């Protein structure tokens, strides 16, 4: 049995160097991989002040839960912005109603866990930037939502 502690397990990934301001200092760890999970995924994120996990988005294929472990993250959803407290747990359902953005708008550190189902392929939509991301195994595609093609485009 593999064990990972949600409260003080070490985060091991940092910025890749190409993150824009507000996303460049976040550290994370993929807990599912560390404990041998295949059906569910969980990541722990440490957010210094002013940093966010990822842009406002929703998943078409997966439900996500946010569990606040430490600090007070600001969460944007279609209903507005809410500051959460340690122990708060919220669900972001699949589809547009589950759109969310998580950031540290305070002065102290924030540590959150995001638990999710793991359906393949993964499809996420980014309404603010008009993008759709598609994840298939180890490959991902980022596409413009507005650039729709005809079904027969390019076919013979």
40 Cβ contact list (under 8 Å, min separation 6): 32, 115, 116, 117, 118
Class for domain 27-119, per CATH?
A: mainly beta
The domain segmentation of the chain, as residue ranges, is 27-119
pLDDT digits (tens, 9 = 90+) for 113-126: 999 999 999 999 99
pLDDT digits (tens, 9 = 90+) for 124-146: 999 999 999 999 988 999 999 88
Task: Report yes or no on whether pTM surpasses 0.75.
Answer: yes
List the one residue out of 116, 143, 117, 140 whose CA is nearest residue 132.
143
Q: Which residue has the tokens 């603010």?
A: 128
The confidence score (pLDDT) of residue 72 equals 98
């Amino acid at each position: 049995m593999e064990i990972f502690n949600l409260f003080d397990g070490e985060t091991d990934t940092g910025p890749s160097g190409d993150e824009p301001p507000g996303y460049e200092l976040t550290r994370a760890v993929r807990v599912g991989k560390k404990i041998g999970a295949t059906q569910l995924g969980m990541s722990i994120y440490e957010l210094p002040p002013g940093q966010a996990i990822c842009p406002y988005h929703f998943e078409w294929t997966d439900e996500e839960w946010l569990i606040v472990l430490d600090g007070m993250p600001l969460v944007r959803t279609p209903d507005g912005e809410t500051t959460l407290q340690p122990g708060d747990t919220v669900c972001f359902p699949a589809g547009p109603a589950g759109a969310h953005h998580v950031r540290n708008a305070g002065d102290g550190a924030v540590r959150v866990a995001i638990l999710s189902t793991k359906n393949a392929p993964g499809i996420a939509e980014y309404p603010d930037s008009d993008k759709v991301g598609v994840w298939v195994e180890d490959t991902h595609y980022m596409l413009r939502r507005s650039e729709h093609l005809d079904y027969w485009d390019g076919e013979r």
